[in-house]
Structure 1
Amino acid sequence: MEYNQKQVSILEAAEKLFASQGFHGTSVRDIAHEADVNIAMISYYFGSKEKLIEAIFLKRIYTWRQTLEGILSDSSKSFIERFDALVETYVVRVMSNPCFNLILMRAQIQSDMTVNELIHQNKKEVYELISGFIGEGQVHGIFNKDIDVIMMINTLIGTTNHVMSTRHHFQRLTNLEHLSDEQLQEYLVTHTSNHLKKLLKAILIHEA
């Protein structure tokens, strides 16, 4: 759905606070203060804190699914080009939205989070899209047979999220303290993307 500027401000404020303070540690009052709106406006637009985090997930999930479908269905590009685009786009998406991805990581290990079923359904849809794409590549003789698609996706997600969430440790370990935040971001996107493309294509197109 389309959101007006006030709703976007509320969603952005909530996302920032949920990432830094946790869902349970953030009150509607905190969100109202951060978004510079009154509590009644949050209630009017979203109803509750639970509905608010659900709106955040729906917005992010819908955008990602559309993007993913567009990449994988682009028959003007080769299977390898589409796979590279998938990796690059995912890495950029995670690195550019650290607050949402921290919320996502946290929500998946908290069984009482109301968005857990939404997360599971999204994971299932993404798996089916990527699995279908790889299956098509196998039919055309591009990709190897017997690929564990779930573990490949876990490798992509796990590596990217780890680098994103521990970026300052990575910066120190690799002696990149001289880089600005913007330069570090550019380096992490490029370095992580290239590493994952090489790693995953070793499974996809090279004999074990």
Structure 2
Amino acid sequence: MEYNQKQLSILEAAEKLFASHGFHATSVRDIAHEADVNIAMISYYFGSKEKLIEAIFLKRIIAWKITLTATLSDTTRSYVERFDALVETYVTRVMSNPCFNLMMIRAQIQEDIAVNELIHENKKEVHDVIKSFINEGQESGVFKNDVDIMMMVVTLVGTTNHIMSTRHHFQRMSNLEHLTDTELQEYLIRHTSNHLKNLFKAILIHEA
């Protein structure tokens, strides 16, 4: 769905507040104030706070599934190159959109939020796409057969989300206080991607 600038402002404001305060602690009035719109406009465009958070997730999820499918179906690249691209794309996506990913973490903890089923379905679809890709690589003799795909996906998501959500602790522990926020983000994307690619190669690829 295409959104106009007012709608995008509302979505961005809601995403920021849901990430920092949680869904239940954020009111429509808070969102209206952050987006510099009136409450009636939010109601007109989205209907309710529940529909608003659903719109945020659908917007992000649809974009990610398109990117994931395009990355793994690019047969001009080898299986290893495509898996490396998956890791880099995912890490960049998470590190570049901390508000959304913090919001997703919060939403999964709070089981009574309506988007939990949407999150579950998205996780299942993403897992199935990655599983299908790895199975193809196994049939082609590129990947090992004894691979726990679920744990690989959990490792990718968990490691990236942990570093994203504790980035300033990571910065201090790694003696990187001299880096600006932009430099830190670039470092984390590169460092996390390389670590995960090396880890997954050891798990996936037959030793020469």
Residue matched to 1:142: 142
Deviations 1:41-89 (A, max 9, x none): 0000000000000000000000000000000000000000000000000
Match of 1:127 in 2: 127
TM-superposed CA distance for 1:110, in Å, is 1.2
C-alpha separation between the residues in 2 aligned to 1:201 and 1:64?
23
Gaps in structure 1 of 5+ consecutive residues: none
Letter in 1 for 2:109: I
Residue pairs, 1:1-208, within 5 angstroms:
1-206=1-206
Structure 2 contact 50–114 (Cα < 8 Å) conserved: yes
In the TM superposition, residue 98 of structure 1 has moved relative to its aligned partner by: 0.2
Q: Aligned to 1:108, what secondary structure does the other structure show?
A: helix
Question: Residues of 2 paired with 1:77 and 1:50: CA distance?
Answer: 41
Q: CA deviation at 1:206?
A: 3.8
The RMSD of aligned alpha carbons is 0.6
Letter in structure 1 aligned against 2:126: V
Q: Identity across aligned pairs (percent)?
A: 76
Q: Deviations over 1:183-208 (max 9, x none)?
A: 1111000000000000011100145x
Task: Give the TM-score, by structure 2 length.
Answer: 0.98
TM-score (norm 1): 0.98
Measured in 2, the distance between the counterparts of 1:155 and 1:114 equals 26
Shift of 1:149: 0.6
User: Structure 2 regions of 5+ residues with no counterpart?
Assistant: none
Tell me if structure 1 keeps the 8 A contact 2:142–2:206: no
How many residues are matched?
Answer: 207
